[in-house]
Amino acid sequence: MLTLADQLAEWLVPGAEPFAVATVVGASGSVPRPVGTAMAVRADGAVIGSLSGGCVEAAVHAAALDAIAVGECHRETFGYSDDDAFAVGLTCGGSLEVHVQPVRPGDEGDPAAVALARLAAAGGGSAALVRRLDVARPTAVVLRDLSGPAGSMPGAGPDSSLRGLVDDGALPAVSAQVAAVLRAGGAATVHAAPGVPDGACDDGAPEEPVTLLVETRLPPPRFVVVGANDFAGALVRAVHLLGYRVTLVDAREVFAAPRRFPQADEVVVDWPDRYLAAEAAAGRLDARTAVAVLTHDVKFDVPTLRLALGLPLAYVGAMGSRRSHAQRIQALRDEGVTPDLLARLRSPIGLDLGAVTPEEVAVSVVAELVAVRYGRDAAVPLSRTDGPLHAARGTIPGTTRSKERPRWT
């Protein structure tokens, strides 16, 4: 729905015809469009957007008109059927789960209409739209301020932002997962146990998990690699897989050649501290930005780390031996860097995996980055822990079209 917010502005004027928005909320196998892709259908049949390139559009169109008539949300699943070549489904062999939500323009009691109007009026800029998928009633919450500190939920906070969507018992688990999506960007579904509010009695009866769709409109997080060497090349490749926008910077033009780092989004020839200062002044570094200093050269390391540690970044790491680390820390102290800022430095960089090769070291750095992102500083093997690994994920039937009307809460 968020991807269509600007295009739907003309459909949101008071008195306009109702419409429904169908959004991809689950995908498996080979599918043409990712989670968050949306298509809107107006009561008169007009369409904005597309879900699959054509193979299920007619069925989605009919489902949207049904949602408008009934006034409730529901989910549909589309998959390929070998038994019936003419059945509604995806010829590519994958399956899509689609959430269909009606919208009544100008109705202050319709949360989706209010949310879309807010997004359209605000224009561009970072934003997120959160909706609940396991209920029939229409829901929508807009988060506008996504510039919170690393490790915390952006916006007004989980209590004020999400309390209208979930009960207090589920709020902590849901908030943590929503925060993770907001930090990473993109669109994703999150699942959490309903929970039991304080003072309530848990009778042990199983309940369906709370399921939310989180759609974000923000640029990918940045990762700045300082130093053009083999370790940097491996780290660029590894971080690229996590969806970061990767910049490699080095003052030595002979080493900072774009052909050596084809998966970097940009290769910059400049003094690293000067480059970081310019990017910070331009507002292009934020609380999701990570910096890894791999130069092994004090004239680059110290000025860059002194600057980076003073910025509100998510991660600052530096490569080097224990001896190099001790010398670097002393040099930073001599430069006036305070103990609380030095405590933010991840050095020697990475988790202790026994890594030796550039590729192995890159894995250890990425592992530490992920651990920091989710507040797991004391990362240990999963085989030595107990309890749930993460929220349970629902499955999508893979062969035929099915319909599910969520329960009311």
Reported as a single tens digit per residue, the pLDDT across 211-222 is 999 999 877 789
Same domain, 258 and 374: yes
Same domain, 23 and 144: no
pLDDT in tens, 142-192: 987 665 433 333 433 444 678 888 888 888 888 888 888 887 778 899 888
Query: Could you check whether the bond before residue 388 is cis, i.e. omega within 30 degrees of 0?
Result: no
pLDDT at 280 over 90: yes
Whether the full predicted model's pTM is greater than 0.85, yes or no, is no
Burial of 205 (0-12, 13-18, 19+ CB in 10 A): exposed
- The residue type found at 128 is A
Mean pLDDT over 117-137 rounds to 86
Same domain, 259 and 167: no
Is 408 a member of any domain?
Answer: no
Is 353 a member of any domain?
Answer: yes
Q: What is the CATH number of the domain that holds 343?
A: 3.40.50.720
pLDDT at 391 over 50: no
pLDDT at 259 over 50: yes
Is 393 a member of any domain?
Answer: no
- The residue type found at 115 is A
Is 389 a member of any domain?
Answer: no
Mean pLDDT over 343-365 rounds to 93
Last residue of a domain, one of 187, 218, 249: 218
> Given the DSSP bridges, would you call strands 210-217 and 187-192 parallel, antiparallel or unpaired?
antiparallel
Same domain, 227 and 372: yes
Q: Which of 287, 310, 306, 290 is nearest to 298 (CA)?
A: 306
pLDDT at 395 over 60: no
Is 402 a member of any domain?
Answer: no
Same domain, 164 and 231: no
Q: Which of 99, 137, 190 is nearest to 404 (CA)?
A: 99
Residue 98 pLDDT class (50, 70, 90 cuts): very high
Domain of 72, in residue numbers: 1-124
Same domain, 156 and 112: no
Last residue of a domain, one of 92, 124, 156: 124
Is 319 a member of any domain?
Answer: yes
One-character DSSP codes across 199-241:
T--------PPEEEEEEEE-PPPEEEEES-SHHHHHHHHHHHT
Same domain, 244 and 375: yes
Is 409 a member of any domain?
Answer: no
Is 332 a member of any domain?
Answer: yes
Same domain, 170 and 294: no
Same domain, 347 and 246: yes
Same domain, 376 and 249: yes
How many domains does one find in the chain?
Answer: 3
Same domain, 233 and 247: yes
Last residue of a domain, one of 124, 142, 157: 124
84-88, 190-194, 221-225, 386-390 — most confident range: 221-225
Mean pLDDT over 365-379 rounds to 84
- Compute and round to an integer the Cα radius of gyration of the chain: 24
CA angle, corner 3, sides to 102 and 401, nearest 5? 55
Same domain, 158 and 275: no
